[in-house]
Structure 1
Amino acid sequence: MRRNRRNYLLAIPAFVFFAAVSGSLVTQSGMDWYRTLSLPWWTPPGSVIGAVWTVIYVLSSVAAIEWWSAKKRGRRFGLVAAMFVANLFLNVGWSVVFFGLHEFAASIVVASLLALSTWSLVALMWTRKPTASVLLLPYAAWATFATCLTAAVARQNGFGFPDLPAGFWLFVHLAGFIVGLGSVTVIDLLGFLGRESCYWTETTIRAHKVTKPLIWIGMAGAIVGGALWHGSWTPVSVAQAWIALVLLMNGYFLSFVVSPFLLARESLGCSKELIPTWMQRRIVISFLISFVGWWSALALTVMALVQ
């Protein structure tokens, strides 16, 4: 057992280090081309990007070691291990297609897959190893930011996105609000009723299984549709971007903290019992943040339409 532990304590950092060095070498080879690009004003300096990636690689190694050290290894263990390896290949792959091949379209796709796989790792690790999940949060957030930056650089340097009318993206934006805000309103109301009612507590646990994916789908539609409808940074789009960031963080808490807690109670046959007061308080605060955030974002969209 000790030998096995020593093996993965050495192998995981070595594998991550190999991926980091490979990506860095490819990046350095394309820096002359990169300096010729027109970059968005919010592009971080190269020194900052390098420092952030260094921290992320260290945290990723610790998260992987934490996951690998689990005493009980279920079916999810192998899935997470495979996804972690795939994630590192995507990490290096982005450097290859962007800095090496100068392919904007492919780099956007790879960056999106990288962000999606990282968030998936965060979600999968949460139930068994919350510490490992939290350690990957900076990586997931940075991969999401890198995806947005890749798309912005591509657009600013002549890459043509599908030429769809602004009205279409406004429709996607508003449809996201209809789906997301509708689901938020339902689950918030049920959660409020469930504070002092065993019947509504059980109903809330059942309903959240449906509303949770709908809220995430709605949020995706509202964010993507809004970004492409606005087309540029305006006071309204900046405000909505900050609201979206708060809602994403709040959604993470509801999906990966509250939801597993409710499902665990259901599996133990406690779904008809009142939720403990300490959790009720956290849920109420989270619901208020969600409700106010969604309505504020919608109000900003209405303001933009009126103007």
Structure 2
Amino acid sequence: MTANLLGLQPTVRIERTDLTILGLPIKVWDFGGQEQYRQEHLLRQQYFDRTNLLFYIVDIQDPERFQESFGYFLNILEIIVELDLEPYILVFFHKSDPEFKDSPELLKFCRDLEGLFNKLPQPFKITFHQTSIFDYEPLTRIIVQAILKVLPKGAVIQDILNNFMNKSESSAIMLLDENVLPIAEAYSTEKARDICRICGPHFATMVERLEKYQIDSPNVVEVEMKGWLFFKKIIYENTKFYLIFFTHAEKNFLKINSILPIFTKDLFNVIRFVWD
């Protein structure tokens, strides 16, 4: 995720950011949380028009303002109802920083907040997440997966990865886009998943940096490490993607190579339909 989207500085009024996920343009509007700006947002309902995805961020380290924040959230929901929208909503209990995210005090704050939000007058599609700017990768994964939920055919990509993992008898597979954002993953063990999550972005970043300096980069990387790790760059319609596989058996590694062309063809067909 771009640094400015996950920045530490407070937003002034509205900050607009353009992203691309699977080649599709995504427009992000980041609303400033200060009191004077909140009132301005509520007076201009057009700000919320055609919203597909809403991230609502609560400072988990400021319990004295929980009620105030919840009140503002209710005002936003009233606008959403008036506009006849049904966005997917994620509430972030933000600043759940690693050093105390599991502390009894912070966990109590999370329970208190969920209790507030569960009192909503009508059902909304809301999920709750502990997040921190210092826990970058999980935060990025939550945001990207939420975006995929509202994209047409987004779930089909996940199905294709699950199917490939089963056919190839891989232990884990991950798909990254050209921004090194995790688009989808499938895994049979958490250890295999973690290997892909750790190694995949580093290999992709290496390729991006080599290309930045106009140095030939590898299309394929194969690593033996108590199993086999396979990294491959693939290109569709001038858009780069990265595939990372991990398997415990060499015979499965050979199977990956044999069925990879069919897998990439199916994947590109789905991506094409997403763009259409």
TM-score by length of 1: 0.24
- Specify which structure has the higher proportion of helix: 1
Which structure is higher in strand share? 2
Q: Bigger relative contact order, structure 1 or 2, given CA contacts below 8 A and separation 6+? A: 1
